Amino acid sequence: MIPFVDLKAQYKLIEPEVKLAMDKVLENTNFILGQEVSLFEEEFAEFCQAKYCVGVASGTDALHLALRILNIGPGDEVITVANTFVATVLAISYVGAKPVLVDIDEKTFNMNLDLIERLITPKTKAIIPVHLYGRALDMNKILDIAKRYNLYVVEDACQGHGAWFNGKRVGSQGIIGCFSFYPGKNLGAYADGGAVVTSNQEIYEKLKMLRNYGSPKKYYHDFIGYNSRLDTMQAAVLRVKLKYLDNWNKQRWANAQIYNQKLNGIGDLILPQSSNKDGHVFHLYVIRTKQRDKLMDYLVKRNIQCGIHYPVPIYALKAYAGLGFKENDFPVTQELSKDILSLPMFPELSIDQIEEVVARIREFFS
């Protein structure tokens, strides 16, 4: 069987270190906001080239708290992309703002930046660019639009840990960057977890309270906050894993190049292209084919796990039926949702495994 993501293969490589780190937390019993949390926050901020980091309970919470801290709420509009994980849009709904969706670009499968400006209204408060599949968006273009219309940029970097654009890490260029440490992410904990990074001191100070019941000091509450903290055990795991992240991302890139080379010219496949080595950390390796459903079925029957990211675009989700989106408004997302297929992708994926996947795909098309 070739898994979609092999968390165990990675665990086996770092098992002694992880066990030691977790044991230390058990010995200290400082489970909530223990020292490992603040140490991880410092290290992850530095990794992202941001001044500050605040650990929270999930990527969804990171996005939610980011919009709260910026005072975005009812009557406001927030622009994001039609093809993303639902959590990006849930965060907008949580604060009572209206999600406005941009169609995607046929080549990058990411937000089409040329379509943003026409969606801006006097109610627009923020743009949430999503570095989907691990591909860094052109942040210069987005920051330029945001500056001209006086909008906040909150980066959804939940799939982009470690990707660069123009010599800068994703997550550090908007006013706030949001990360998820869901186990399958490029930097994954062993439970839910998330983080917000920012270089704005005022936002940082407030976020630390917002994730902790709005409390500057135990039993004193300045505003209505949340219980949304990165737990100490997960911070300890993440500190071990962060040291390997750049290398793991390089291995993902190398695996993607091997896939690209070996899949080139087979059937009607369209392969992901990226000329910028640092700009794509291949959280997912996504191909296109008109025979997607049949190919997926063929691979799954031969014990090769694959996925679709995402089978139902945001505007077609039951949860968002009330927003009145029309699928004709998103022709590229609509078409791609029928064509895209994510193949097994993780740093430890072996050449033999890649060759097996490629052999089965070749077999399918012959």
The binding site for ligand PLP (CB under 6 A) comprises: 58-60, 84-85, 87-88, 130, 156, 158-159, 180, 182, 192, 194
Q: How far apart are CA 67 and CA 125, in angstroms?
A: 10
List 56's β-bridge partners, or say none. 194
Residue 109 phi, psi (nearest 5): 65, 10
CB of 62 to ligand PLP, least distance (A): 7
Burial class (CB in 10 A: 0-12, 13-18, 19+), 157: buried
Residue 83 vs 212, nearer CB to ligand PLP:
83
Residue 59 vs 279, nearer CB to ligand PLP:
59
CB of 355 to ligand PLP, least distance (A): 28
Residue 58 vs 108, nearer CB to ligand PLP:
58
Residue 69 vs 87, nearer CB to ligand PLP:
87
Residue 55 vs 295, nearer CB to ligand PLP:
55
Do residues 357 and 2 touch, judged by C-beta distance below 8 A? yes
CB of 80 to ligand PLP, least distance (A): 10
Residue 65 vs 209, nearer CB to ligand PLP:
65
Residue with nearest beta carbon to ligand PLP = 59
Q: Which of 177, 168, 190 has the alpha carbon at shortest distance from 234?
A: 190
Antiparallel, parallel or unpaired: β 285-288 and 124-127: unpaired
Q: How far apart are CA 181 and CA 38, in angstroms?
A: 16
Do residues 17 and 240 touch, judged by C-beta distance below 8 A? yes
Residues 6+ apart with CB under 8 A from 20: none
CB of 351 to ligand PLP, least distance (A): 28
Q: How far apart are CA 51 and CA 43, in angstroms?
A: 10
**Complete DSSP assignment for 54-75:** EEES-HHHHHHHHHHHTT--TT
Report the amino acid identity of residue 110.
Answer: N
Residue 330 vs 364, nearer CB to ligand PLP:
330
CB of 362 to ligand PLP, least distance (A): 30
CB of 67 to ligand PLP, least distance (A): 13
Cis status of the peptide bond prior to 310, with omega within 30 of 0: yes
CB of 86 to ligand PLP, least distance (A): 8
